[in-house]
Amino acid sequence: MKNTFVAGIHAVGKSYLCGRAAVAGWVHSSASTLIKQELGGANWTGAKLVDDPDRNQKALIAAVKRINGEGQRLLLDGHFVLRDARDECVFLGAEVFADLILDAVVLIEAPASLIADRLQSRDGVARRVADIEEFQLAERRQAETVCAALGLKLTVLSMPSDDEFLASLGNH
């Protein structure tokens, strides 16, 4: 049973798009939801800074295997790059994604100014547009690196409509 990973930085629209796909019949969960379920709570701040990325990834892998064991194929939304408690980038390696039993990756991107507005209104977090651009570029580069290492198809979409997103999933 193979899963599809929907990647992108915080506030790019992953959960919204995956929610639309769930209405169309996909089983969807965010990586953060699965991690919280496995660990019995979150271990990150409201600004999405992660205390223990390694522990989180082990919890995520366990949750995905449990869901697949129940016969469900998963549309999983998450990240290739996180920010740790010091607000520094943590690049998740190919070994994490190999264990998620993926067959494809869809990377969602959006203008940094739009993401900044969403972060402020949704989470009350102020980020500089230049920092968001840098973070989004790091996410794309890590997605390309991981997908190349694992032989996964990578589809990059910029602010896709619901229909464009669903069409990208139809090929997986």
44 pLDDT band (50/70/90 cuts)? very low
Helix axes 129-150, 112-123, angle to 10 degrees: 100
Query: Which of 40-49, 108-117, 133-142, 163-172 bottoms out in mean pLDDT, i.e. has the lowest?
Result: 40-49
Query: Which of 27-36, 111-120, 147-156 bottoms out in mean pLDDT, i.e. has the lowest?
Result: 27-36
Average pLDDT of every residue of the chain: 89
The stretch 113-137 carries a mean pLDDT of 94
Residue 78 confidence (pLDDT) above 80: yes
CA triple 154-112-151, angle to 5 deg: 10
Domain 3-169 falls in which CATH fold? Rossmann fold (3.40.50)
Sequence ranges of the domains in the chain: 3-169
The stretch 156-161 carries a mean pLDDT of 98
Do residues 91 and 139 touch, judged by C-beta distance below 8 A? Answer: no
**80-96 residue pLDDT tens:** 998 877 888 989 999 98
d(CA 46, CA 92): 21
Helix axes 162-169, 14-23, angle to 10 degrees: 70
Neighbouring residues of 56: CB distance < 8 A, sequence distance ≥ 6: 35, 39, 43, 44, 50
